[in-house]
Amino acid sequence: MKVNKVDHICIAVRSIDDARKIWEPILGKSGPDDEYIDAPEKIKVARYMVGQVGFELMESTSPDGKVAKFIEKQGEGVMVVSFNVDNTRESVAELKEKDYPFIGGVRPFRDCEFAFIHPKKVNGVLLELIDDKW
């Protein structure tokens, strides 16, 4: 498997509106480069491009969402590191052969797919593989 780059880093926050006031002055931005709600993942996202890497603030849209549960257990902070790969499905198959466990399966997002390696295998980091081309 070849990693092309760090695709994005996600920060779990209780409130995107509050977090924007903290992060936008640091990032030198007056607003996100991309905002969206991912209903299946139960998240609201504000994405900022920092060079070629996305920096995302993620807020749960539901009390039972993964971001809400993460914050409940660990507080706000870095939740996901994402690596860009050429093909998510091929990367997952290759890593499964090397005994890397995955959470759920390969999932769609816009014009690409992503998957999560279980943190217990990668030093406690929730590691995402995504084949996003933008």
Question: pLDDT tens for residues 103-113?
Answer: 989 999 889 99
CA–CA separation, 27 and 4 (whole Å):
23
- Amino acid at position 128, single letter: E
Tell if the pTM clears 0.75, that is, is over it: yes
What pLDDT digit, counting tens, does each position of 50-83 carry? 999 999 999 999 999 999 999 999 999 999 999 9
Domain assignments of the chain as residue spans, ordered by start? 3-130
Is the separation of the CB atoms in 134 and 53 below 8 Å? Answer: no
DSSP assigned state of 123? T
The domain 3-130 is placed in CATH, from the list 3.20.20.70, 3.40.50.720, 3.10.180.10, 3.30.70.270, at 3.10.180.10
What pLDDT digit, counting tens, does each position of 12-44 carry? 999 999 999 999 999 999 999 999 999 999 999
Residue 78 has a CB neighbour count (10 Å cut-off) of 12
Q: What would the two tokens of residue 18 be?
A: 């509050």
CA–CA separation, 61 and 45 (whole Å):
10
- Amino acid at position 51, single letter: G
CA–CA separation, 104 and 114 (whole Å):
10
Q: What would the two tokens of residue 65 be?
A: 């969402």
